[in-house]
């Protein structure tokens, strides 16, 4: 009888622990460290630290003054990305170095959060542990938090897009032709969209591009990295690692996550209306879609 009770007791705690783990909330970003310093020097330290812990620096850029974003990848990200449809959106994580007042903040996208948001066939826990070892971990931030189950079914609100409803911009004759067209379009930068990094998914005809977006004048501001972030990244701890935006070449097609999903997954608690709300960037999803579509050889109305 004691053995039966002991077994039932252990089973209860096993199930309870599993349920708690499933219900644990995840947040989009991790604050690794903060303190005095300068952005350029700290960015160099970050690159050295992640490289030491097995990451490859895919690229970096400064979207606006006092901010640098560094894209990193590793074997776990690239191989896990290959196991699910459009898993390539999770083939890189982003690290930000942002100066706020006299303080430099180092933060990064939460791999476990992003793996669930992008419905990957794995949770990238090894990648998460390695980023923590390289960059530290003070706290997760950026939202009240969502469970893994809710992230895998996430959309901002009724009528808005899910992960599996990306924009499809253009279809080419082959994967190689699609890559060539995207590389050429980003190199030309005619529509304010330029290449920050490229990551090839392991063993699959899929490639992720990170792109900088710079709009000109009043008409172009709604696709501009600096303008969008000035409206929505207003809290004390900065979510700079939301940037850059992504383009995915999968087989012979070119995609991007629709901005109403891509922005919302980084800022799920952002208000619909009022100061610092989605209303202030209401024109941005279409402006971003149009700029990306034209940059990769698609039509203005490509969806």
| H, E, C per residue of the chain | CHHHHHHHHHHHHHHHHHHHHHHCEECCEEEEEEECCCHHHHHHHHHHHHHHCCCEEEEEECCCCCEEEEEEECHHHHHHHCCCCCHHHHCCEEEEEEEECCEEEEEEECHHHHHHHCCCCCCCHHHHHHHHHHHCCCEEECCCCEEHHHHCCCCCCCCCCCCCCCEEEEECCCHHHHHHHHHHHHHHCCCCEEEEEEEECCCCCEEEEEEEECCCHHHHHHHCHHHHHHHHCCCCCCCHHHCCEEEEEECCEEEECCHHHHHHHHCCCCCCCCCCCHHHHCCHHHHHHHHHHHHCCCCCCCC
pLDDT for res 5: 39
The CA distance from 259 to 291, in Å, is 12
pLDDT for res 276: 85
pLDDT for res 16: 42
pLDDT for res 297: 96
In Å, what is the CA distance from 33 to each residue of 41, 105, 263? 14, 6, 24
Q: Indicate the fold that domain 26-295 takes in CATH.
A: TATA-Binding Protein (3.30.310)
Which residues have C-beta within 8 Å of that of residue 190, sequence separation ≥ 6?
A: 294, 295
Cα 141 → chain centroid: 14
Q: Do residues 77 and 87 lie in contact, with contact meaning Cβ atoms separated by under 8 Å?
A: no
How do the domains of the chain map onto residue ranges?
26-295
Q: What is the pTM of this model?
A: 0.91
pLDDT for res 2: 45
The CA distance from 144 to 126, in Å, is 24
User: Which of the residues in the chain have pLDDT under 50?
Assistant: 1-21
pLDDT for res 300: 81
pLDDT for res 3: 47
Q: Do residues 107 and 239 lie in contact, with contact meaning Cβ atoms separated by under 8 Å?
A: yes
Which residues have C-beta within 8 Å of that of residue 301, sequence separation ≥ 6?
A: 293
């Amino acid at each position: 009888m004691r053995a039966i009770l002991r077994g039932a007791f252990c089973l209860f705690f096993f199930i309870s622990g599993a349920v708690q783990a499933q219900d644990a909330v995840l947040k989009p970003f991790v604050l690794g460290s903060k303190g005095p310093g300068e952005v350029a020097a700290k960015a160099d330290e970050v690159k050295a630290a992640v490289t030491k812990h097995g990451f490859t620096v895919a690229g970096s850029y400064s979207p606006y003054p006092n901010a640098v974003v560094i894209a990193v990848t590793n074997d776990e990200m690239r191989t896990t990305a290959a196991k699910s449809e459009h898993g390539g959106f999770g083939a890189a994580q982003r690290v930000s170095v942002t100066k706020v007042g006299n303080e430099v903040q180092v933060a990064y996208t939460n791999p476990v959060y992003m793996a669930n948001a992008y419905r990957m066939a794995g949770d990238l826990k090894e990648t998460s542990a390695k980023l923590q070892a390289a960059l530290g971990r003070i706290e997760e931030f950026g939202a009240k938090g969502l469970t893994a189950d809710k992230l895998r079914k996430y959309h901002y609100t009724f009528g808005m897009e899910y992960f599996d409803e990306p924009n499809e911009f253009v279809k080419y004759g082959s994967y190689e032709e699609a890559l060539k067209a995207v590389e050429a379009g980003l190199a030309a930068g005619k529509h304010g969209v330029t290449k920050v990094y490229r990551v090839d998914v392991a063993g699959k005809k899929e490639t992720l591009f990170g792109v900088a977006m710079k709009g000109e004048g009043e008409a172009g501001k709604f696709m501009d990295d600096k303008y969008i972030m000035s409206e929505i990244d207003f809290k004390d701890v900065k979510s700079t690692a939301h940037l850059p935006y992504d383009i995915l070449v999968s087989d012979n097609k070119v995609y991007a996550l629709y901005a109403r999903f891509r922005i919302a997954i980084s800022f799920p608690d952002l208000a619909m209306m009022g100061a610092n709300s989605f209303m202030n960037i209401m024109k941005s999803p279409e402006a971003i879609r149009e700029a990306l579509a034209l940059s990769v050889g698609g039509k203005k109305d490509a969806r």
